[in-house]
Structure 1
């Protein structure tokens, strides 16, 4: 027998029965005094919900909501698969507002991941990040095909490394159109010798040739390579635009 839509409710049953708050609503409106155990990349931290949720818009609400069903370690801690070493300075910032003074580039990347926008902005104004993200990157954006040519350089270095301890790649760096014109003849000579050359430039106003060589060395080393740039003299002619990048493999 089906129940009528107008069947009277059982005695004592409230007309608008209150529901238990959902897990999502508990995360969105958390109790700031709730203790949270964290496992960040194998390192353990203990804090409160209020500390983690201190900055609206951060990624912690998403992390904690997902951890209600997933992302727990064997002891029930909230698991975050990120480097634990750099989470400590971030947690200190959330607790006290203390700006990190160590591991600035690494903490900066983690702050971007956790979307702690105020900390990201503070770190971007520090010399370590300002110099890299603003000054150097803006310079490299003005060098045509910098990333593509860097990849070609690394490809040639790996190709030359077969059964060799060292490999060498010739690089031509020209800042101005005048330097570019002067290097046409030596480039033809190297081409005739079947010597591969990776050419960078020219680019407009900004840092000079040695600054670009420094950037190349920095970016190559950042990828784990052992490299040393040296001046490359072609037939004893004073061409200052040529360098040779020596890669050490073992």
Structure 2
């Protein structure tokens, strides 16, 4: 049974009716979800009691109506059909709807749907990808830097695109011939004094690395390009060489340098 404690979590357009007579609903409900119309059974909306829809139609809350008397939910109705289909028959959305339906399921607090979606693609793949990106706590900040630098350069040059130099490296480099036999795992450690000898910053706009995972440089490059694409930004990249900065004893950095071309229109 849904309790009145749910009132504090209700959307602002709903009014908690605690203390007022319990509202009665017809068996068949007409809905207006952001301008899109739906018809369903009251029992469908109440299928899972710990959801926002069950609370809204519990009789404890006032729900506004549109001019035609339909119950109004101030939410984009584009994916509400997928919500109803799950409540009716447990049907899951097609793959290209999964991410959007997941957002709606979060809003309506439909736990069983959230659990089912998180075991399907592309959400499963995104969880795996995010586990990798969590190894790079600066990843989102660097992504923002790429966007800001590219935007500034394009505006300064009045150009359709901008180019950046980005370093992406998995392990600390270089590994000397003496050290290489010891490098038999993903994790390699030097003493503080040894690390200081090799410490430097490549002459690039943004640098990613190092990290400890099976995922390699090309996996991270894919993440960068994909996440920029999610923001509507077209990015092409190619390796243009390695950092040739001299360190000590004839050793050089050798971290790979990539040129990113960000196209704005």
**Range class of TM-score, shorter chain:** 0.7 to 0.9
CA distance in 1, matches of 2:129, 2:142: 17
Q: CA RMSD in A?
A: 3.0
Under a length normalisation based on structure 2, what TM-score does the superposition of the two structures give? 0.71
The 3-state SS of whatever aligns with 1:232 is strand
Under a length normalisation based on structure 1, what TM-score does the superposition of the two structures give? 0.75
Q: Does residue 1:127 correspond to 2:116, yes or no?
A: no
For 1:220, which of 228, 231, 236 is the aligned residue? 228
Q: 2:108 corresponds to which residue?
A: 114
CA distance in 1, matches of 2:210, 2:137: 8
Distance 1:236 1:87, change over 3 A: same
Q: 2:173 corresponds to which residue?
A: 178
Q: 1:201 corresponds to which residue?
A: 209
Q: 1:68 corresponds to which residue?
A: 62
CA distance in 2, matches of 1:79, 1:240: 58
Q: Structure 2 matches for 1:91-170, cutoff 5 A?
A: 91-102=84-95, 103-132=97-126, 134-162=127-155, 163-170=158-165
Deviation at 1:235, TM superposition (A): 9.1
The 3-state SS of whatever aligns with 2:154 is coil
* Residues 208-237 of structure 1: CA deviation (Å, up to 9, x unaligned): 101001001111111111222222236999
The 3-state SS of whatever aligns with 1:83 is coil
Between stretches 146-155 and 59-68, larger displacement belongs to 59-68
The 3-state SS of whatever aligns with 1:233 is strand
CA distance in 2, matches of 1:224, 1:67: 40
CA distance in 2, matches of 1:155, 1:184: 27
CA distance in 2, matches of 1:47, 1:117: 20
Unmatched segments (≥5 aa) in structure 2 = 1-18, 176-194, 246-252
Q: Does residue 1:248 correspond to 2:263, yes or no?
A: yes
Deviation at 1:41, TM superposition (A): 2.6
Deviation at 1:202, TM superposition (A): 0.6
Larger Rg: 1
Deviation at 1:122, TM superposition (A): 0.8
Deviation at 1:77, TM superposition (A): 2.1
